[in-house]
Amino acid sequence: MESRKAEEKARQFIKQRHPRLELIFFRTMYKEDSGWILNGEVKFKRAYFFHATRTFKIKIDAITGEIISYEETKVPQSKEVKQ
């Protein structure tokens, strides 16, 4: 499987997971053992004005194209302190 195919599989998987998706940004992509590892960020709507940003790490089997693992971590929102 080529890197382009791995990216397509990752996009499909994330779109199914987050129906109100706004942005998928891939930071790194590399081949390790028998799979592709993709790291990045996903941004999606939570409510009308609110959105959430999370980082993800997804591993895809290079031969079959199946998702081996998926991890998602919440990115802390910066809070401005008004004085």
Q: What is the pLDDT of residues 43-72, one digit of tens each?
A: 998 888 888 899 999 999 999 999 999 999
Give the pLDDT of residue 7.
94
Mean pLDDT across the chain: 89
pLDDT at 83 over 90: no
Q: Distance between CA 71 and CA 51 in Å, rounded?
A: 19
Give the pLDDT of residue 82.
55
| Residue of 14 and 47 predicted with greater confidence | 14
- Domains of the chain and CATH, by start: 3-74 (3.10.450)
Give the start-end residues of each E strand in the chain. Answer: 21-32, 35-45, 51-61, 67-74
